[in-house]
Amino acid sequence: MVQLSKRAQNLKTSPTLFLVAKAKELAAQGHDVISLTVGEPDWPTFQIPSRAGIEAIEKNITKYTPANGTVELRKVIAGKVQNEIGQTYSTKEITVASGAKFIIFAALQMLCSPGDEVIIGTPYWVSYPMMVELADGVPHIIECGEMENYKITPEKLEKAINAKTKALLFCSPSNPTSLLYSAEELKALAEVLRKHPQVAIISDDMYNRLVFAGGKVAPHILQVAPDLRERTLVINGGSKAYSMTGWRIGWAAGPERLITAMADYQSQSTGSPSSISQHAAMAAIQGCEPDIEQVVAKLRSRKDSGLNELRSVHGFKVAEPDGAFYFWVDIRAHLGKTHQDKVIRTSKDFCDTLLEKYFVATVPGVECGLDGFMRLSFAVSEDTMKSAVNRMKDFVGQLV
């Protein structure tokens, strides 16, 4: 028998991808399943990058590139970062990889030694803690509930930092809450971080262009604290704003020493990112501003409509999104109730029953580190969301 490593034995499947698979299995059985799980836009990749991808194939731009991406794409990314957060990066301070998820993974691999701690606030993106553990690090989880508006406060950050702390990892706007850190909140966190120069900052900016008020780009820690540049990693990619999920292209800008290590790690693991996807991403960054503006308007409308629908469900409390495309729904009023002889004790029980009996797939908050909640994607049509919420009303109406 093949003996698996301890790492393999401790590995967990991504909860969102597991739920997607379960929803597809039920759909294959003939059930009308509505999936609100995966963070994937329901609109197609924009025409400009799509045509650029076809062009890459037709012009034989299909060979290996440098492991950290083409110089041309890195220059375009540098311009994008300059425009968005006002920081200048050379091509040696930027790396491109097969998705922003792998960028985060590579960063943690290059930052963490065994026992190093990475601070993560709840609720978090489901993959963060596991990625830290796969880097032999220890996720130091800070609980940030309703009282903290689901965001890390400077007081909690200060208390969490110790001699083992290697990095702070956060996402704004957040997956799963869709809430963002204001400039003032980031300034307060920066005040704490200045006291602890050993702590690296990993800023997951995947949703930074999908914001509903206050400008086209979410506030960034380097805008309010540019002195932290030499220990901050700025991460983004094509998946969300450009709807390029399947193209698998992500990037990071940061200190050259860390970026070089990440690029070397990429060269020994995934190799170079897809040349076709890189060519398409370059076209997207250069030409899709009008498309992003249209998408934000569409998401704003969906947010407003979905919020009204969800708030009409008895016992639901919903945080209004600042950006991204998720609803973070407080379902604690329904825990402890019974549905057809099954006691709904946890958010997982609630979401499992909602899927198995009413065929609506959602992500339980416990998978994001905070039980009593669920995450719904509103990157679906308004009619689809309304149908899903009607099924939720049927479910809630059966609870006793």
Question: Based on the domain organization, do 377 and 334 belong to the same domain?
Answer: yes
Close Cβ partners of 392 (under 8 Å, ≥ 6 residues apart): 310, 313, 316, 354, 358, 360
Under 8 Å between Cβ of 347 and 375: no
Question: Based on the domain organization, do 70 and 176 belong to the same domain?
Answer: yes
Residue 18's pLDDT is 81
Question: Based on the domain organization, do 327 and 378 belong to the same domain?
Answer: yes
CATH number at residue 143: 3.40.640.10
Whole-Å CA distances, 234 to 255, 258, 309, 322: 10, 12, 35, 20
Under 8 Å between Cβ of 183 and 150: no
Question: Based on the domain organization, do 273 and 365 belong to the same domain?
Answer: no
Question: Based on the domain organization, do 93 and 204 belong to the same domain?
Answer: yes
Question: Based on the domain organization, do 108 and 193 belong to the same domain?
Answer: yes
CATH number at residue 31: 3.90.1150.10
Question: Based on the domain organization, do 282 and 351 belong to the same domain?
Answer: no
Residue 311's pLDDT is 96
Question: Based on the domain organization, do 188 and 215 belong to the same domain?
Answer: yes
| Low-confidence residues of the chain: pLDDT under 70 | none
Residue 6's pLDDT is 87
- Report angle CA 136, 138, 144 to the nearest 5 degrees: 150
The last residue of one of the domains, among 288, 306, 331, is 288
Structure tokens at 18: 């597991």
Q: Which residues pair with 4 in a beta bridge?
A: none
Residue 1 lies in a domain: no
Residue 19's pLDDT is 81
Residue 225's pLDDT is 98
Close Cβ partners of 117 (under 8 Å, ≥ 6 residues apart): 137, 138, 139, 140, 162, 164, 165, 166
Count of domains for the chain: 2
Residue 195 lies in a domain: yes
CA atoms within 13 A on the CB side of 276: 15
Residue 20's pLDDT is 80
The last residue of one of the domains, among 237, 255, 288, is 288
| Residue 269: burial class (beta carbons within 10 Å; 0-12, 13-18, 19+) | middle
| Residue 59: burial class (beta carbons within 10 Å; 0-12, 13-18, 19+) | exposed
For residue 374, what are the domain limits? 6-44+291-397
Question: Based on the domain organization, do 120 and 250 belong to the same domain?
Answer: yes
Question: Based on the domain organization, do 260 and 157 belong to the same domain?
Answer: yes
